[in-house]
Every structure is written in structure tokens, then in C-alpha cells.
Amino acid sequence: MVIHIVGARPQFIKLAPVIHAFKKTGLPYKIVHTGQHYDYTMSDMHFETLNLPAPDYHLDIGSGSHARQTAMMLEEIEKVLINEKPSLVLVYGDTNSTLAGSLCAAKLGVPVGHVEAGVRSFDRNMPEEINRIITDHISQYHFCPTQNAMDLLKKEGIEGILSGDVMYDALIEFSQISVTLPYCSPFILTTIHRAENTNNPGRFMNIWEGLTMIARDIPVIFPMHPRTRDLYPDMLKSSADGITIIEPVSYLYMLAMIRDAACIVTDSGGVQKEAFLLKTPCVTVRDTTEWPETVEAGANTMIDTGPESIYNAAMEMMQSAVFDHANPFGNGEAGINIARYIKHTCMD
């Protein structure tokens, strides 16, 4: 039996194609939800939208410092693994849930499979980068989304398995569902939630000013992460003309917004990739990216947090983004590739 450990919105999306493939191949499994994301709009809504079964274990860890959150996860995950005695633990992406799940399993001698292995931003100031590196180096099975991830792992002495990207599987399946948006085109879609931008008021205010400059020309829609909203409640009560702040939306709704936007301004890794796959120009407000394939293709650009830089990059990308590059994220069968590999290689 395989234990899937997830805890944050991007992981629920990555989990969906794998669980659907597990059902098709008859693999036994249970789901552990750490509760890292616990707000309805960041958790339960996505289980419902993605047709995922309710978690077998919900640990209700909640928020906290990285050390406290990870420690609490380790303690609770250990209880589950001792009770269930799985043949394999699967972890996803780069969150504290990923780190805690892989570390706990490794300490108990349970093999670990890492879905989205080999991804690197080369910025160790990002907690996610530390989580990725540690997880890869204590995992036995490394399911890589791209050839670039395979190559990066090889440089670290690790042989990966080129599965393709499970988020591409999810996008293919769920982007076919019709969603009508209440927004008139054109509009800019923005998501800003990374600690490097939100924990630094100077950086965040620069980004905000850049968005207000854009909004003078084109309306900006900002589905706001609860953490960002909590950090800047007073300023956001009086949002700038042209910027519409909304609650986080379902995965289906988000795909429709990315599809219909004139351009994306984001610091999200997943949104960069979804914009590329849905052929929407993207401006990434970060110093590095874990998806350099999107930049090399000409569909995404990295930019600093200067307001003028953000404005100019958005205006330029709407005119110059390129989408004729080959898709590096597989053929939409990553979930079934992972399930078949596990069934034939990892199970007792």
C-alpha cells in the first residue's frame, strides 16, 4: 500500500492525476493531508473540484514557523506510517509537507518516491529549494517532470525517472471543462504569495505600485492568497483603481482565468507553467525560476520588483511572447507512468 502525503493547494492538483491512475491500475493507497493549507479556498474546495477522495488522515497542523510546522508534521506523520506500514510513501513538489513526509519515511526505513523531482531554482534563500534538495537526496524513486530536471539530478549523482509533469495531466483534463468568467477582456491576472516578496514590505509595495501602473491601462485581477491578505490588510482595504482583489478561486476557475488573461504577473512556479501550457504571456517577479524551460521558450520573462520594470515587462510580453516551442512537460500521461512504474517496481 502507498501513502500519499500532501498539504498545500499545488499538491492537491499534482495528486489528482496520480490518484486517478492508481484507481485505474488497482494500486492500494491512502491519503494523508497535513493541513498545511487549511482555509476552505486553499484546501477542501480543491478536493471537491478535482474529484479527489477525502483524505484518510487529516492532521490539522495549520500554520506556524517552518521549524514548528515541520516538527509537528513529523510527529503526526510518524504515527500514521507506524500504524499503516506502507510499502512506499509518495511526496509531491516542494512544501514543508514534502520535507516532513520524506524525512519521516526515511527515518522509519520506508522507501520514498518524489513526484516533481529534480526541479531547481538555485536560490537557497527559498524554503522550497531546501525542501526539494533534501527530499531528492533521501528518496529512492525520482519522478522527473522534464528532461532538464533529469539532467540536474544526474549532476547531483541521482538517476531520475522521466515521468512527465503531472500538472500537465491535470491541465489537459480540467481545462476542457467550460467555465464562464465575469471579467471582460483584456485583463491582467496576478498572483503574489512567495515569502521573498510578501515578507519584504519594500518588495511587495514595489510590486503593488507596478500593478497600479498596469491597472491604469488594463484591469488587474488579483486572487489573493490568505497569507498575503493577512500581511497587508489595511492597504488592501483601499485597493487601487483598476485592481480587483478576489478570494482564491477553484482550480477550474484559475485555469480559465489564465487562459483568458492578456498577461500573467506572478511569483508562482505552477502559474508560470500553466501560463506556458495555455499560451498566455507571463511575467515572473522573482530573481530565479524553477521552470527555465518557459523562459528559454520566450513565453515567460524574469523581472525585478521595480514598478517600471514590471509595467514595461507586461506591456512588452503581450506583444512579443513566443509559443511555438516544443512542450517539455510530457504527453499528459505522467500519472499513469508513475502508477505503472510503482506497480511493477516498488510494490511487495
Block mean pLDDT (10 aa), the chain, length 348: 93 95 96 75 68 91 85 96 97 96 97 98 92 97 98 98 97 87 91 91 94 95 88 70 86 93 96 96 96 95 95 96 91 97 85
pLDDT of residue 65: 85
Q: How far apart are CA 190 and CA 257, in angstroms?
A: 10
Alpha carbon distance 91, 116 (integer Å):
9
* pLDDT at position 48: 81
pTM here is: 0.92
Confirm if 141 and 161 have CB atoms less than 8 A apart.
Answer: yes
What pLDDT is recorded for position 40?
46
pLDDT score at 239: 60
- DSSP secondary structure letter of residue 34: -
Q: Using CA atoms, how far apart are residues 280 and 198, in angstroms rounded to an integer?
A: 24
CA distance 143 to 113: 7
91: left (phi over 0), alpha (psi -120 to 50) or beta: beta
Dump pLDDT digits (tens) for 286-304.
999 999 999 999 999 999 9
Considering the domain delimited by 2-165+330-346, tell me its CATH architecture.
3-Layer(aba) Sandwich (3.40)
- Quick one: pLDDT at residue 160? 98
193, 225, 325, 344: the catalytic one is: 193
Q: Cα–Cα distances in Å, from 251 out to 148, 175, 256?
A: 26, 9, 9
Set of cell numbers at residue 192: 503574489
Task: Please say if 193 is a catalytic residue.
Answer: yes
Rounded to whole angstroms, how far apart are CA atoms 257 and 263?
A: 10
Any idea where the domains of the chain sit in the sequence?
A: 2-165+330-346, 188-320
Comparing C-alpha atoms, which of 211, 140, 220, 145 is closest to residue 187?
220
Would you say the CATH fold of 188-320 matches that of 2-165+330-346? yes
Cell (9 digits) for 193: 504569495
Enter the C-alpha cell of residue 126.
527559498
CATH topology of domain 188-320: Rossmann fold (3.40.50)
From the number of C-beta atoms within 10 Å of its C-beta (0-12, 13-18, 19+), residue 119 rates as buried
Whether the bond between 226 and the residue before it is cis, its omega within 30 degrees of 0, is: no
Q: Distance between CA 190 and CA 212 in Å, rounded? A: 12
| CA–CA distances in Å: residue 261 to residues 216, 314, 342 | 16, 12, 38
Helix ranges (H only) for 139-218 are 147-155, 166-174, 195-198, 201-215
> Could you tell me the sign of the dihedral formed by the alpha carbons of 222, 228, 234, 235, in that order?
negative
State the pLDDT at residue 9. 86
* b/e map 80-100, b = 16+ CB within 10 Å: bbeebebbbbbbbbbbbbbbb
Neighbours of 348 (CB within 10 A): 5
C-alpha cell recorded at residue 25: 491500475
Q: Are 242 and 213 in contact (CB under 8 A)?
A: no
Q: Burial of 60 by CB count in 10 Å (0-12 exposed, 13-18 middle, 19+ buried)? A: exposed
Residue 63 φ then ψ, to 5°: -85, 175
Residue 105 contacts residue 130 (beta carbons within 8 Å): no
